[in-house]
Amino acid sequence: MSRLIQLSRSALFRLPPELGRPEFDLASVRPGIVHLGVGGFHRAHMARYTHDLMNRQPDALQWGIVGVGLIPADERMRQALAPQDALYVLVERQDADECATVIGSLADILYGGHSSAAVLAAIDNPQIRIVSLTVTESGYCLNAATKQLDPGHALVVHDLANPRLPRSAIGVIVEAYRRRMSGGQPAFTSLSCDNIQHNGAVLAHAVLEFARLRDPCLADWIATNARFPNSMVDRITPVTKAEDVSYLAERFAVADRWPVFSERFRQWVIEDDFAGGRPSWEQVGAAFVPAVAPYELMKLRLLNASHLAVAGLGRLAGYQYVDESLCDPSLRAYMSALMDRETGPTLLPVPGIDLSAYKIQLLERFSNSRIKDTVDRVNNDAPVNLLIDPIRDRLASGATVELLALGLAAWMRRVRGEDGEGRPIPVVHPLASLLKSRAVEGGADPRPLLAIRSVFGELSDNQRFVNAVQEWLTLLYGVGAKETLSQARRRLAF
């Protein structure tokens, strides 16, 4: 192992030629963005776009990213990347096609889990014109049913009591705006990169509501001066595994404590509404549009809802990976039918997108044999609203929900926390204990779970929907996922 090259700025010239590296002067990168939630997805997506732009445009070096972790799990990220000068290797794969690149767009990496003082000081820099975030839906401190700020959330309660040293992403953003306002400095743009429908609007509402609880004048200043563009992001990025680190060492003789592996495909659609300028990301493949809603709805309904439905059924069928699940003809046919018959018809027109080709591409992406994306990652990361929202739309229009109900029934069977053989299934959710107890209580009867209004809202009042879920849930408990899918194919002809 002594022959391994420890990744750092000083070691770049010793890297093998087949490993891409920054073509710009790393010493000239200056912070222009602070990003909250510097996980694998951010490093495969926004940081990659910014790196590519820096390779192309010298003036893009003013948009270096200060990566910030706010939760305890993020401390390991800083410990891994700081000795590497915030460099890391991104490996992009589509079946046999592979490309590996050292990404150099991170100007620094901070951990604010113990104290947000250094994070706030970084945002105080007047050259910081964008604060972006990828913190998942749970990081917004929202009520699950209303999608609005939850004043009773533990982090919100803490941050209102300790507003100058907040712990939540929302509290950090609001305090940073207060410091800008007090110092007579211009507001920055808050850019959500999370998989939440209308993510910019959701972020704006949470920030403004929190600010109003602190100081109505602060809320008014933010509403007048700040910007919260909606965006749609897309790139499948599995959690980095120990074998990924080993592969990189064996393939390139590089020691990287936390590389990132992703698919080759990437997409970023952003509303062009920024307070103090922005990088020219459109020069490296991003799309700036007047309204992102049609694109984000397309992705949420076709990709994300399919991902969750396939992962839930795949887990119950005994599969470990998404690509493995898509090798099952019944699951592949189910995903196609779900998109064509139920989720696809809920979409708005999407300018410039061939939806038939997009759906075929999704099947290819999910089947990518080099992206070992686990069904557990999808099941634990994806909010159940990805299924609930299109169900609500379909029910409101009087349309069928048989296929969506099957996906939701799989979710309900899975949150019991064990499979048909009694083997444990990991369940990561803020209400995991309640979900498990209700799933055990109800068994094939979905009503105890559906009675959790903070998750399912009023859906339990729709008997047609309840009956559909109960029918599939009964089959899942009785004959298992594979036989349930076989019966579904015969009954629904997909």
| CA dist., res. 334 & res. 348, Å (int) | 22
Tell me what the pLDDT averaged over the chain comes to.
96
Distance of CA 212 to the CA centre of its chain: 28
Q: Report the 10 Å Cβ neighbour count for 197.
A: 19
Q: Please report the domains of the chain, with CATH numbers, ordered by start residue.
A: 5-289 (3.40.50.720), 293-492 (1.10.1040.10)
Q: Which two tokens stand for residue 274?
A: 């920024």
Confidence of residue 2 (pLDDT cuts 50, 70, 90): low
Burial class (CB in 10 A: 0-12, 13-18, 19+), 421: exposed
Triad 424, 428, 430: Cα angle to 5°? 135
* Collapsed DSSP state (helix, strand, coil) of residue 440: helix
| CA dist., res. 55 & res. 47, Å (int) | 12
Length of the chain: 494
- Locate all alpha helices (DSSP H) within 45-128, ordered by sequence: 46-56, 75-81, 117-124
* Collapsed DSSP state (helix, strand, coil) of residue 11: helix
Confidence of residue 1 (pLDDT cuts 50, 70, 90): very low
Q: Which two tokens stand for residue 115?
A: 């104290």
Helix%, strand%, coil% for the chain, nearest 5: 55, 15, 35
Determine contact, residues 419/490, Cβ cutoff 8 Å. no
- List the one residue out of 292, 265, 267 whose CA is nearest residue 281: 267
Confidence of residue 143 (pLDDT cuts 50, 70, 90): confident
Q: What percentage of the chain has pLDDT greater than the value 70?
A: 99
**Mean pLDDT throughout 89-97?**
95
> Is the pLDDT reported for residue 344 higher than 70?
yes
> Which residues share a beta bridge with 424?
418
**E strand spans, 130-263:** 130-133, 189-192, 231-234, 254-255, 260-263
> Is the pLDDT reported for residue 301 higher than 70?
yes
> Is the pLDDT reported for residue 89 higher than 70?
yes
Q: Give, as one character, the DSSP assignment of residue 149.
A: B
Q: Which two tokens stand for residue 242?
A: 């120990």
Task: Please provide the distance, in angstroms rounded to a whole number, between the alpha carbons at the two ends of the chain.
Answer: 52
HSE-CB of 424 using CA atoms within 13 angstroms: 3
Torsion, CA 153, CA 157, CA 163, CA 168, rounded to 10? -20
* Collapsed DSSP state (helix, strand, coil) of residue 212: helix
Tell whether the torsion through CA atoms of 383, 386, 392 and 393 is positive or negative: positive
Cβ-Cβ contacts under 8 Å for 357 (sequence gap 6 or more): none
**Among 45-54, 142-151, 317-326, 417-426, whose mean pLDDT is lowest?**
142-151
| Residue whose pair of structure tokens reads 């609001």 in the numeric block | 174
Q: Report the 10 Å Cβ neighbour count for 410.
A: 28
- List the one residue out of 122, 139, 222, 135 whose CA is nearest residue 177: 222
Confidence of residue 146 (pLDDT cuts 50, 70, 90): confident
Confidence of residue 147 (pLDDT cuts 50, 70, 90): confident
> Which residues share a beta bridge with 99?
92
Single-letter code of the amino acid located at 454: S
* Parallel/antiparallel/unpaired status of strands 88-94 and 97-103: antiparallel
> Is the pLDDT reported for residue 67 higher than 60?
yes
